[in-house]
Amino acid sequence: MQRIIYTLIALAFSCQIFAQSQSNLIQEANEYYQKGEFEIAIEEYEAVLETRVEAPEIYFNLANAYYKTGKIAPAILNYERALLLSPEDEDIKYNLELAQKHVVDKLEVLPEFFVSSWVSGLWNSLSANAWSYLSIGFFFLFLALMSLYLYSKLNRIKKLGFFLSILCLLSSLVFYNFASKMNKQLTLREYAIIFNPSVTVKGSPDDSGTQLFLLHEGTKVKVIEELGDWYNIKLSDGNQGWLLKDEIEVI
């Protein structure tokens, strides 16, 4: 028993040291960024991310540092990663749009049914945690209103409680679905950014495959299949093809 207690104390102490070390690294990176020493700031932020610590602020500052040094593809990559963690952040969206203006490829976006577009925009407006909290909150409201329906002696109150409880239950299920979609987006990481100055998209996963079209760094693609050293990618205009894995970086 005594050995277990000592082990737990040692683990708690190690976690505290690790957390303090990460905090110091982030602080140092922020200081270099504020001084305009962006190359050193990039190294510091990347060192923090290598320890599996993630936060939208870290990705945002790292993206800004890359943008300040003229490295557009890494800037876009890290703005996109920051946006995944904080989709409602207007500063991230604005800076991402600025960086995307430097991308050579201007792709058309296939028209989307307005309902699908509206729903997609809605569930992308908040983070997975925010949708989860809303789902839990509305579920508790459902329980409270259902209790009102079951125990109230007034028919008017019973009807109102029943109607509102069903509405809250449906809202809770919708918000849960949104949270699941956001979590899926975070774990699957379906999109990627081209890092090479220019790449040739092939018709098959082979060096001798037919050359379909040319893309440039900073362009965002969707990864729909993986085969050996190749990714099957799809563009916003509907075109598809194959690229080598080392030519792109997954968001």
Could you please report the per-residue DSSP string of 10-49? HHHHHHHHHHHHHHHHHHHHHHHHHHT-HHHHHHHHHHHH
| Angstrom distance (rounded) from CA 180 to CA 186 | 10
Q: What is the mean pLDDT of residues 182-211?
A: 88
Predicted confidence band at 26 (pLDDT cuts at 50, 70, 90)? Answer: confident
Least-confidence region, from 14-23, 76-85, 104-113, 211-220: 14-23
Contact 178, 129 (CB under 8 A): no
| Angstrom distance (rounded) from CA 28 to CA 5 | 35
| Angstrom distance (rounded) from CA 123 to CA 116 | 11
Residues 6+ apart with CB under 8 A from 130: 88
List, in sequence order, every residue forming a beta bridge with 244; answer none if it has no partner.
Answer: 230
| Angstrom distance (rounded) from CA 249 to CA 243 | 11
Mean pLDDT is highest, among 13-17, 104-108, 240-244, for 240-244
Predicted confidence band at 62 (pLDDT cuts at 50, 70, 90)? Answer: very high
Q: What is the mean pLDDT of residues 212-221?
A: 94
Compute CA distances 79 → 56, 101, 157, 178, whole Å: 9, 14, 50, 22
Name the helix (H) or strand (E) containing 213.
strand 211-216
Question: Which residue matches tokens 């809605």?
Answer: 122
Strand 191-194 relative to strand 248-250, pairing: antiparallel
Residue 76 is predicted with a pLDDT of 97
State the pTM of this model.
0.72
